[in-house]
Structure 1
Amino acid sequence: MPGIDESLLDAMRVTGARGASVVDWISGLSLGAVGEASSGDHEVTATETAEFARSALEGGAFTRNGGDPATPGGPPPVEDLVVTTPDSYHVIRFIATPFDSSVFLHLWLDRAAGNLALARIRLAETADRLVLG
């Protein structure tokens, strides 16, 4: 089963991928990154995407259980988030972990070259195989 580095390289195989990272949404720290960063700096991008992810998870409007955190070992209350801009897609895929499920994969995808539906499928497959520990 692949770890962070292998999973990031797998995410970059998605057609149109510009950058990918694994981020802890509680702390905002990047656990690994590859390719370009949408802000120009991987740590800044990690912090900003973590704030967005935390807002979606803790706010309750998008969760099936009103913003309660995921049960350890269970699925996160939100599967993924998608942000579109005129020239790109940002896909955030939450990862279920045996501990606190506070990690997500972020894929930055060129809109002209990429396919959002296929990117979501590939990112979900990558997240399911990712081993953290």
Structure 2
Amino acid sequence: MANMDVSLKEMLTIDGAVGAVVADYGSGMALGALGGSKDLDLQVAAAANTEVVRAKLRAIEALQLNETIEDILITLGSQYHLIRPLTGRGGKGLFLYLALDRGRANLALARHQLRSIEDRLEI
């Protein structure tokens, strides 16, 4: 099992990683963040992506789907943004957020590595 700091560091080792956050989608607050840049404020990203998670959860409920979100992918011109709600014990209401440089990232591998990090994360 890995704590949050270790998990954030692991997220930044993923090829193309620009920033990593563990956030609470109830409050919109980042519990921990590493990376970022002048063009990517991770605190703002955590709060904004909270709305993305909430909207998707409302859509699933409105459609009466008996499903959980595995991950959400947002594809931009130069970046991928991966959002992964935590499903493990103690992770309810939290999500992992990973921003990737699209030119350097392998999306399939990044998704696999993020899933593995989630499995080891202990909050």
TM-score normalized with structure 1 length: 0.84
The answer to whether the 8 Å contact 1:56/1:62 transfers is no
Secondary structure at the aligned position of 1:109 is classed as strand
Is residue 2:114 matched to residue 1:123? Answer: yes
Could you tell me whether the CA contact under 8 Å between 1:95 and 1:104 is conserved in 2?
yes
Percent identity, aligned pairs only? 39
CA distance in 1, matches of 2:111, 2:86: 13
Partner AA of 1:27 in structure 2: S
1:62, distance to aligned residue in structure 2 (A): 7.7
Deviations 1:74-98 (A, max 9, x none): xxx1110000001010001111133
Residue equivalent to 2:65: 64
Query: By percentage of residues, which structure has more helix?
Result: 2
Residues 58 and 12 of structure 1: CA distance in aligned 2, closer, same or farther (over 3 Å): same
* Other structure's SS at 1:92 match: strand
Q: Secondary structure at the residue paired with 2:10?
A: helix
1:1-133 alignment to 2 at 5 Å? 1-36=1-36, 40-60=40-60, 64-65=65-66, 77-99=68-90, 101-132=92-123
Q: Using CA pairs below 8 Å that are at least 6 residues apart, which structure has the higher relative contact order?
A: 2
Ranges in structure 2 where 5+ consecutive residues have no aligned partner: none
Q: Where does structure 1 differ by over 3 angstroms across 4 or more consecutive aligned residues?
A: 37-40, 61-64
Measured in 2, the distance between the counterparts of 1:63 and 1:34 equals: 36
